[in-house]
Amino acid sequence: MFMISSKVFIINLITELLIYFIFFSSIIGNRRKNKLKLNIFLVIINFFCALFLFDVYEFIPSIVLIITTYLVYREIKIDYYLFNTILISRVIFNIVTIIVRILILPFISHLKILNVFVISLENVIVLFLLLLVSFFYKKYDIRNIARDGSYTLSILSLYILIILESFFYLGRRSGELNSIILGFSIFLLLQLIFIITLFIIQIENSKTRAKRKLIDNQLSNLKYYTDELEQNQRELNKFRHDYTNMILALKSSYIDGTINLSMIEDFDRYSSDYFEGEIVDSMGDLLNIENPLIKGFLFMKLVQMKHDKIDYEFECKTTISKSNIETHDMIRIIGNSIDNAVQEIARMGTGKVEIFIYQNSEEQEFLIENPYMKNDLDIDYYIEEGNTSKKGHSGFGLSNVKQISEKYDNLYVQYSATEKFSTRIMIIMK
């Protein structure tokens, strides 16, 4: 069993906390604006907690670390993504730490007291490996598992974390390091098989839910589309009846010689109220979109904005052909962009959503614009997963759009914020 002095213990404790929060910050993204100050605060709180409570009950510091990190970073009432990320980061941190200790054990087995050099070497290797894990964690979008896993992943991660903490506890108490290493290796293999199986099931369930949601949305769009057509048909029948009566009245007035300018203006005003309606104007432009699902989806969005009394302008004067982009991906990108615009206008209480669609022989372009409340944060902040300007939202909108666009080499999504916030979706035609 290795001994460690109080001085080395304190240095190691501070270093481990710093390394953990560096790793956690790298995988959670720019969730909070003053992240550095928050992490320093969390290091100080957890340092004193571990220092004074470690000998009372060794699990308490880990529990406090999870709770304090969750409370400091939380943005919505129940934040499964944050909780899962904390647990996963802690599990990865513990696994990497154990692996490093296994690797350096043959070189330090002759020591009885661990010095600062050994502890520092261990922590440097741990930091390097964690940064490597962080790189692949973001590169391969493993964070999506934390986002989609909900409470199932929370329970699984918590279970693994408890087992790992128990290994640390038994190792410190018994001093039987070789037995602990052997037991951990067997445990790690079994748990790896178990975790991979559960993740495959979880991913398949997520795909099934996504497909079901897409079908439900398509049916919802169809219902909106049908209801609006029925409403337009009823209005058309009423207009035809009233129009005929007004024509007869004008003819009679002309024969009698009693026609005047006010009667003609009333007739013109009545006709304009019908023919210049936003939905009526939009219907003609929507017919230029060849993809029926995107056409129905946009129609539903226009009807919804009309229902919510959100001013909008829609224009599509050219034929929009089907592209190689999957329909459900295009619907998610367009829907997210329109939803963000509508939410911003609803928050401001004024403004108009402008949607322009255009295609030529080389490219297809969707432009969504809206006024916005200016702040000190740049657009890149909101593209990071978990960030949002809307209180009560988890902030996956723009980051989801980024992930989708990266799947295609001919799909580009650009944002700009000057007088208006603009989302430009460009598809290079192949």
CB of 92 closer than 8 Å to CB of 145: no
The domain boundary residue, chosen from 150, 175, 200 = 175
Residues 155 and 281 occupy one common structural domain: no
Q: Which of 389, 385, 387 is nearest to 406 (CA)?
A: 385
Q: Confirm whether 202 is domain-assigned.
A: no
Q: Confirm whether 238 is domain-assigned.
A: no
pLDDT of 235 above 60: yes
Query: Residue 400: which CATH number?
Result: 3.30.565.10
Q: Confirm whether 220 is domain-assigned.
A: no
Neighbour count for residue 218 (Cβ, 10 Å): 18
Band (pLDDT 50/70/90 cuts) for residue 115 is confident
Q: Confirm whether 26 is domain-assigned.
A: yes
Give the least confident one: 202-206, 207-211, 254-258, 371-375: 254-258
> For the chain, what is the mean pLDDT?
77
Distances (CA, A) of 101 to 182, 217, 307: 13, 52, 63
Q: Confirm whether 237 is domain-assigned.
A: no
Identity of the highest mean pLDDT range in 98-112, 146-160, 228-242: 98-112
Neighbour count for residue 204 (Cβ, 10 Å): 10
Say whether pTM exceeds 0.85: no
The domain boundary residue, chosen from 140, 175, 210 = 175
pLDDT in tens, 151-196: 667 777 787 788 777 776 666 655 555 555 556 656 665 766 776 6
The domain boundary residue, chosen from 155, 175, 195 = 175
Neighbour count for residue 160 (Cβ, 10 Å): 21
Residues 296 and 413 occupy one common structural domain: yes
pLDDT in tens, 337-358: 999 899 889 888 888 999 999 9
Q: Which two tokens stand for residue 263?
A: 């009667």
Task: Tally the domains of the chain.
Answer: 2
C-alpha span between 36 and 13 (Å, rounded): 19
pLDDT in tens, 280-317: 556 678 888 988 888 878 887 887 888 788 899 999 99
Give me the amino acid identity at 213: K
Q: What is the pLDDT of residue 389?
A: 47
Distances (CA, A) of 398 to 74, 159, 211, 394: 19, 32, 21, 11
Residues 162 and 290 occupy one common structural domain: no
Q: Which domain holds residue 33?
A: 3-175
